[in-house]
Amino acid sequence: MADLFIKNGIVLTLNETREILDDGGVVITDREIEAVGPTDQLEAEYDADQTIDASGHAVLPGFIDAHVHVSDILVRGTGTSRELYDWIQNVKRPAVNEMTDEDHEIAAALFSQEAIQSGITTFVENASGAADGYPESVIERKFAAYEAAGMRNVYAYAFADTEPDPEHATFMEHFRRKEPEVTHVSPSETLTDTDEILADIESLIQTYHGSAAGRQSVWPAPYWTEIVTPEALLGAYELAEKYDVMTTTHTAESVDDEARRSQSSIEYLDNVGYLGERTLLGHCVVLSERDIRKLALTDTKIANNLKTNLALGDGIAPVPQLINYGVTVAVATDNTTANNAANMLSNMAFADLVQKGLHQDATIMTAEKVIEMATIDAARAIGREDDLGSIEPGKLADLVMIDLDYPHLTPNLHTPSTIVYQTQGFEVDTVICNGEIILEDRTVHGIDEEYPELRSDAATAAEAISERAGLTSIQQRPWQSRYK
Ligand SMILES: [Zn+2]
């Protein structure tokens, strides 16, 4: 007896041949997909405890968000129209540095609810405080929220173990002076010892990796190429190998970063020995052709944080060129304060349309490719292509159902195009993760039960954080029709 039978859906399998079943079914037993095929055939072969009629719905693999910052969600909308380091120095770091353990849990619950409602079943959280990782008390609270939500999370423990070079420090100081009322955090206040932090992360992997019925993972995540030592980068890669996980860092995000360097970030990481199949690099906006070749050669993966890169004026990663070289690229929502949403479907549309406009070439991306970048390619990008990213027997049962019965989705003549160009995000009505229904009728029951006053709690927490971090004047800025 199977646990769950989803029938009559348009099933986008994302299997090897990218098969789409027009009247398809999926049989789920325990945590896994047991069978996929035409509804009538499966109906004759299987009995299930529960059946979901997916008529009028597209059924896809759960979306995988390859790069996220969760806690920042409580100050989103603050400091818009600021460039990267202005935003980091004057909004992000001051805010997260003032958050209590409870604030982090509220942020995690809010993020989970929003992310699941847009079809995200797995996310990689680049978990960084001011520059160091959060204490274990914060991790426990966040994991409790993710467990309540029922989604799959990778906790990429971020840290810094060296100061930025003096030129960069001057650059950051320049931005801090702009906002004297903000409670700033100097990067040197949050440095960690290389050996200690790697030992701490190893112990976290031993404690949490595979917890919550296998849904939770831990990775080592040197925060950003500029503020981690070669020893930390190598140590992180070695830990990833030892525990069969991945490692991730922020790389080549802005022209300013790259212009200052005597060698490109990619060349540097290559020389250090950090590039490789277990490395997922966030951003990679500023790349040379040579950098792209090195990424391809080493099978290094990329998280494309396009909406955040656009919002901060960083630029547009050369995704079509990366794909042409065979580099695996995943769509990611990145920072909830810069993006400012965890809406996967919106990010998928941007990932396609922005490249077409930039290159003045409508053939350069396709709806099918961006769906791959949110599912099977993203699974590969996080080292989970064997058990996530497609609807195939033996894979973990992570599925999204999109209701197509809306005026703006009618007629549905080419399902991949309908999903990428016409949805707005709210059409996701059912989500299954690890074989469990975690979104039903747009409701994340696990979060509603554990956090019944979530939105008012989040609003109250946000106000207090802003007060403590000195962000109130930024939030109450006068109307700015243009930048001064
Ligand atoms: Zn990031």
Which DSSP string corresponds to 236-281? Answer: HHHHHHHTT--EEEEES--HHHHHH-SS-HHHHHHHHT--STTEEE
Query: Residue 187's pLDDT is what?
Result: 64
Ligand 1 center from residue 136 Cα (angstroms):
20
Pinpoint the residues of the chain covered by CATH 2.30.40.10. Answer: 2-61+389-447
Q: For the residues 97-105, what does the mean pLDDT come to? A: 95
User: Is the model's pLDDT at 478 over the cut of 90?
Assistant: no
Give the pLDDT band of residue 166 (cuts 50, 70, 90). Answer: confident
Ligand 1 center from residue 157 Cα (angstroms):
12
The CA distances from residue 406 to 11, 52, 348, 400, 424, in Å, are: 18, 20, 19, 17, 11
Pinpoint the residues of the chain covered by CATH 3.20.20.140. Answer: 63-381
User: Is the model's pLDDT at 90 over the cut of 70?
Assistant: yes
CA neighbor of 412 nearest in space, from 425, 421, 424: 421
User: Is the model's pLDDT at 259 over the cut of 90?
Assistant: no
Beta strands in 54-119 (DSSP E): 57-61, 63-69
Ligand 1 center from residue 42 Cα (angstroms):
43
Query: Residue 261's pLDDT is what?
Result: 87
User: Is the model's pLDDT at 358 over the cut of 90?
Assistant: yes
Which CATH architecture group holds 63-381?
Answer: Alpha-Beta Barrel (3.20)
Ligand 1 center from residue 249 Cα (angstroms):
8
According to the CATH classification, is domain 2-61+389-447 in 3.20.20.70?
no
Give the pLDDT confidence of 410-469 residue by residue, as tens digits. 999 999 999 999 999 999 999 999 999 999 999 999 999 999 999 999 999 999 999 999
CB contact at 8 A, 434 and 150: yes
Q: Which pTM was predicted?
A: 0.97
Query: Residue 482's pLDDT is what?
Result: 77
Query: Residue 171's pLDDT is what?
Result: 83
**Long-range contacts at 352-356 (CB < 8 A, ≥ 24 apart):** 352/420, 352/421, 353/421, 354/306, 354/310, 354/316, 355/316, 355/319, 355/320
Ligand 1 center from residue 87 Cα (angstroms):
13
Give the C-alpha separation, 67 to 122, whole Å.
Answer: 10
* Rg value, the chain, Cα: 22
Ligand 1 center from residue 229 Cα (angstroms):
18
Query: Residue 186's pLDDT is what?
Result: 74
Q: Give me the residues near ligand 1 (ion), CB cutoff below 5 Å.
A: 126, 282
User: Is the model's pLDDT at 131 over the cut of 60?
Assistant: no
The CA distances from residue 161 to 7, 164, 276, in Å, are: 52, 10, 22
Question: In the chain, what percentage of residues exceed pLDDT 90?
Answer: 84
| Residue 362, φ and ψ in degrees, nearest 5 | -75, -5
Ligand 1 center from residue 133 Cα (angstroms):
13
